[in-house]
Amino acid sequence: LVDAYVVGKLLYPDRFAHVDLALKADEIFSFFVGTPVYQDMVKDFGTPGAEVGF
């Protein structure tokens, strides 16, 4: 689900400008795993979308 927001921000930046990816990711991770783990994921795998200049 987090990747869907990354793609949305890349393809439609004007429509997703209001979305803070870190906050949205932590919201999603908290729902599924019970804790906000976005920063841990960034540390282990890098920032989502960074490969394409996001």
**Is a pLDDT exceeding 90 seen at residue 50?**
no
pLDDT tens for each residue of 3-22: 999 999 999 999 999 999 99
Query: Rg for the chain (alpha carbons), in Å?
Result: 11
Distance CA 18, CA 35 (A): 23
- Which residue in the block uniquely carries the two structure tokens 């987090």? 2
**Is a pLDDT exceeding 80 seen at residue 49?**
no
Those residues whose C-beta lies under 8 Å from the C-beta of residue 40, and which sit 6 or more positions away, are none
Q: Which of 10, 42, 15 is nearest to 26 (CA)?
A: 42
- What average pLDDT does the structure give for the chain? 91
Distance CA 9, CA 5 (A): 6
